[in-house]
Amino acid sequence: MLKKRVIFSLLYDNGSFMLSRNFRLQKIGNLKWLQKNYNFSHISFSIDELLILDVTRGERDIEKFSQHVQSLTEECFVPIAAGGGIRTLECARKLLHSGADKVVLNTIVATNPELITEIAKEFGRQSIIVSVDVKVENNTLSVWTENGSVEQKEELTAWLAKINDLPVGELYVNSIDRDGTGQGYKQELLINLPEKMRIPVIIAGGAGKFEHLSEGLNEQSIDAVATAHLLNFVGDGLEKSRQLLLEKGFDLAKWDINKAKNLKDIITEK
C-alpha cells in the first residue's frame, strides 16, 4: 500500500511566484526571493513532492520556465512535478529534461488527449499527473480548463472517468472556489470519483493549516494533499504540520529533518 503524501505547490507566472485566490493572482516575489525565503534543502524533509505550475496568463515561455524548474531542482531532494500550458511533446520533454520527474497536464484532456498517450509512450504513465480544476456553477460541479477560463460541457463524473482510462499516473483535483481561501478542501469533489479509481488522487484548493491537511488525508480515497498557500506555511509551518501528522498516526514517509542542515552546509560550501 502506498504511503500518504504531502505536496507543496508553487505557482509561477512569467518569472514571478504568485499567491492565488479563486484563480486571481497576486505576485509575491521572483526566484531570488523564493530561494531566500524558502530553504528547499530543508523544506524537502517536510514534504513528499514539490509541484510547480506555470499559471501565466497569455503567452508562456517554456524555455524560461524550464530554467526556473532546473534552478529549483538543485536544492530539492524530493520528486518534482511541473506543468501548465503543455501543448506539445517537446514542451513535456523540456521540463522532464530540466529535472522534473513528472509533468502536469490539464487542458489537453479536452483539446488533444492523444498527446497524453504520446508522452506516456516516451516517458511512462508514472511521469504524468492530470489536473482538474472544478468550480460550482448553478449548484453543479463543473470542469474548467485554460487557467480556469473555459468551462467544459462534460459533467465532472464523466470527465474523471475519462481520465481514469487514460495512461496517466495520478489525478490532481483542485477546487477553484476554495483556492487560496484557507477554508479547507472541498471534499464534495470526491463523490464524483469513479468507483474503481485505479490511480492515486491528490486533492488541492483550500488548505490553510495543519487541520486541513489532516482532514484530507483522513479520506480513504485521497492519497495526497497539496497546498499552494506560501504564506500559511512560511518558516517552520510545513515542518510542524508534518510532525503533527506523524503524531496522529498518518502513514507518511519519515525523513530525518536534522540531516537537512548538513546538506545545506554542503551546498553552501560548494
At 114-168, the pLDDT tens digits run: 999 999 999 999 999 999 999 999 889 999 999 999 999 999 999 999 999 999 9
165 as an active site residue: the answer is no
Catalytic-role residue among 133, 165, 223, 265: 133
Confidence of residue 268 (pLDDT cuts 50, 70, 90): very low
Mean pLDDT of 72-86: 92
Q: Is 90 exceeded by the pLDDT of residue 267?
A: no
Q: Is 80 exceeded by the pLDDT of residue 80?
A: yes
Cα 222 to Cα 220: distance, rounded to the nearest angstrom: 6
Mean pLDDT of 235-248: 88
Strand partners, 130: 105, 171
Q: Is 90 exceeded by the pLDDT of residue 75?
A: no
- More confident of the two residues 58 and 118: 118
Confidence of residue 171 (pLDDT cuts 50, 70, 90): very high
Q: What percentage of the chain reaches a pLDDT higher than 90?
A: 76
Direct distance between the N- and C-terminal alpha carbons of the chain, in angstroms, rounded to an integer: 39
Q: What percentage of the chain reaches a pLDDT higher than 70?
A: 91
In CATH terms, is domain 5-269 a member of 3.20.20.70? yes
Cα 39 to Cα 37: distance, rounded to the nearest angstrom: 7
Mean pLDDT of 66-82: 92
pLDDT at position 81 is: 98
pLDDT at position 45 is: 82
Mean pLDDT rounded to a whole number for the chain: 91
Look up the pTM and report it. 0.93
| CA atoms 104, 100, 53, 260: torsion sign | positive
Sorted by where each begins, the domain ranges of the chain are: 5-269
Cα 30 to Cα 240: distance, rounded to the nearest angstrom: 26
